[in-house]
């Protein structure tokens, strides 16, 4: 197999337009300053006009579950999360393999939080299982409201992982998720920046309703971005950072031995793929708990049984865009060697609102035993696209494909040695593949197997691209 490299493509933005959107929610006026960027039309593609923020309301009774989403927990369990306005509703899920025929049930826990004058609804989390792999289950939350269905991930390869970062809740986001949903996939990975609520808590509720159609059917595995922090001051009266994010989007951090919900890992496809979610906004230096946890997590991976290791984080370590330039550098310097020595295959990032793929790289040099770094912060956020790619950037020689357009990616892990990555640009009603490459697992690459006493180093100086 040969890699199919995408061509270089970038655009410039002649002007920007700022629009203020006013939302009235439960008597509270929310004012959003939204910067829309308009691009000079490329010869083969004319970008659509700016998309509006979509505020999704709950129109059903207070007892009806809303904001339903699912995530994986261990090898054969799923977590179902939802919100009810009625605080007396039970945290229970009924489920079965036939519509309307629930043969099992599970009870979980619930919580809520306050953010100044805002009080959340009752937030429910219930773990269901054991479940059969690659199987459709029908389920109902709190014994009320609508019936939902989900499909569990497969127990072996192949597996299809969709990837989209910096989502938000705009017409662009709706287009991205529509394109994701049109083709079959097993799981969505999100490298941070979900709702873009930015302390306006009703937008968290709106986001949960906005994505429910998709997030209730396939597991969404997420990590935090800067828009999840929502804490500007370290004051006793100020809400703790990440309060809304960690309360609403509970991920399986405890199951992976992590002490923090801001970083965790999990296996999928029967352990053939190990996914690590790192926290760009948690301490990451060599004396930090996240660093120690990452070292333990990577050391525990048996690459004979787990041929693929994928990492997600928010602030990219490699970036030739002027947007957020250098913001991931401190984390790269602290942690990159751990990933390199463990032969991590891919690193996905968000934060920069564009698409960019690098060759295999380590320590700012092409390296066939390093990960492929991909920035995919182009899910549809309200801030617009990042057009300013630096042609003369010091890392430009390592950048294989870059484009400022909204879209999503797909990692199709075919078997223990081969995977296909594609990036799909939003072309109005269609989704166009603009970048495609075949990857070989580093675990299968004999030249990259660590040598005794080499501290993980393999063929470190070869300029060869992915395969």
Buried b (16+ CB within 10 A) or exposed e, 149-165: ebbbbbbebebbbbbbb
Where residue 453 falls (left for φ over 0; alpha for ψ -120 to 50; beta otherwise) is left
- Read off the pLDDT of residues 327-359 as tens digits, 9 standing for 90 and up: 999 999 999 999 999 999 999 999 999 999 999
- Read off the pLDDT of residues 144-184 as tens digits, 9 standing for 90 and up: 999 999 999 999 999 999 999 999 999 999 999 999 999 99
Task: Specify the 3-state DSSP secondary structure of 95.
Answer: strand
**31 CB-side CA count, 13 A:** 3
- Read off the pLDDT of residues 241-300 as tens digits, 9 standing for 90 and up: 999 999 999 999 999 999 999 999 999 999 999 999 999 999 999 999 999 999 999 999
Distance in angstroms (rounded) separating the CA atoms of residues 357 and 168: 22
Catalytic hit among 64, 124, 125, 324: 324
Whole-angstrom Cα Rg for the chain? 22
Residues in the chain: 467
Distance in angstroms (rounded) separating the CA atoms of residues 268 and 265: 10
177 phi/psi in degrees, rounded to 5: -65, -35
Beta-bridge partners for 16: 37
What is the bridge-based pairing of β-strands 372-376 and 355-362? antiparallel
Residue 25 Cα distances to 120, 173, 194, 253, angstroms: 13, 21, 20, 33
**pLDDT computed for residue 186 by the predictor:** 98
For the chain, the distance separating the N- and C-terminal CA atoms, rounded to the nearest angstrom, is 8
Neighbours of 417 (CB within 10 A): 15
- Check if the beta carbon of residue 96 is closer than 8 Å to that of residue 138: yes
Distance in angstroms (rounded) separating the CA atoms of residues 209 and 83: 10
Percent of the chain past pLDDT 90, that is, above it, reads 82
Q: Per-residue pLDDT for 18 more than 60?
A: no
Q: What is the DSSP letter of 247?
A: H
Q: What is the DSSP letter of 215?
A: H
Q: Distance of alpha carbon 448 from its chain centroid, rounded?
A: 28
**pLDDT computed for residue 449 by the predictor:** 81
Question: Tokens 């025929």 — which residue?
Answer: 101
Distance in angstroms (rounded) separating the CA atoms of residues 126 and 410: 29
324 carries an active-site annotation: yes
């Amino acid at each position: 197999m040969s890699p199919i490299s995408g061509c270089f493509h970038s655009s410039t933005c002649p002007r920007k337009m700022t629009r203020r959107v006013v939302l009235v929610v439960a008597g509270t006026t929310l004012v959003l300053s939204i910067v829309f960027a308009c691009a000079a039309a490329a010869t083969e593609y004319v970008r659509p006009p700016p998309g509006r923020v979509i505020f999704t309301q709950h129109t059903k009774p207070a007892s009806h579950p809303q904001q339903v989403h699912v995530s994986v927990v261990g090898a054969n369990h799923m977590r179902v999360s939802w919100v009810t306005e009625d605080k007396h509703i039970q945290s229970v899920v009924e489920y079965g393999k036939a519509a309307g025929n629930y043969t099992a049930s599970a009870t979980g826990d619930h919580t809520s939080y306050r953010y100044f004058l805002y009080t959340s609804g009752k937030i429910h989390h219930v773990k269901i299982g054991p479940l059969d792999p690659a199987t459709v289950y029908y389920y109902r939350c709190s014994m009320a409201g609508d019936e939902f269905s989900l499909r569990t991930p497969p127990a072996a390869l192949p597996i299809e992982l969709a990837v989209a970062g910096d989502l938000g809740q705009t017409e662009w986001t709706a287009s991205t998720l529509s394109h994701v949903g049109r083709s079959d996939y097993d799981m969505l990975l999100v490298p941070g920046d979900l709702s873009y609520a930015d302390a306006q808590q009703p937008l968290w509720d709106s986001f949960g309703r906005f994505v429910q159609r998709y997030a209730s059917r396939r597991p969404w595995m997420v990590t935090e971005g800067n828009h999840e922090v929502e804490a500007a001051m370290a004051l006793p009266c100020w809400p703790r950072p990440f309060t809304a994010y960690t309360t609403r989007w509970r991920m399986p951090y405890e199951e992976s031995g992590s002490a923090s919900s801001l970083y965790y890992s999990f296996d999928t496809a029967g352990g053939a793929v190990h996914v690590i979610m790192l926290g760009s906004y948690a301490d990451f230096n060599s004396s930090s708990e996240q660093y120690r946890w990452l070292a333990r997590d990577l050391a525990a991976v048996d690459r004979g049984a787990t041929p693929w290791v994928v990492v997600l984080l928010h602030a990219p370590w490699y970036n030739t865009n002027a947007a957020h330039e250098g913001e991931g550098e401190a984390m790269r310097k602290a942690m990159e060697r751990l990933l390199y020595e463990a032969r991590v295959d891919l690193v996905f990032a968000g934060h920069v609102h564009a698409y960019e793929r690098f060759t295999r790289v380590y320590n700012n040099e092409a390296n066939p035993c390093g990960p492929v770094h991909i920035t995919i912060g182009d899910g549809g956020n309200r801030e617009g696209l990042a057009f300013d790619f630096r042609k003369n950037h010091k890392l430009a020689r390592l950048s294989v494909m870059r484009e400022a357009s909204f879209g999503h990616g797909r990692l199709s892990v075919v078997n223990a040695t081969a995977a296909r990555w594609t990036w799909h640009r939003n072309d109005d009603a269609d989704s166009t593949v603009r970048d495609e490459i075949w990857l070989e697992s580093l675990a299968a690459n004999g030249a990259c197997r660590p040598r005794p006493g080499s501290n993980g180093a393999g063929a470190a100086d070869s300029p060869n691209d992915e395969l």
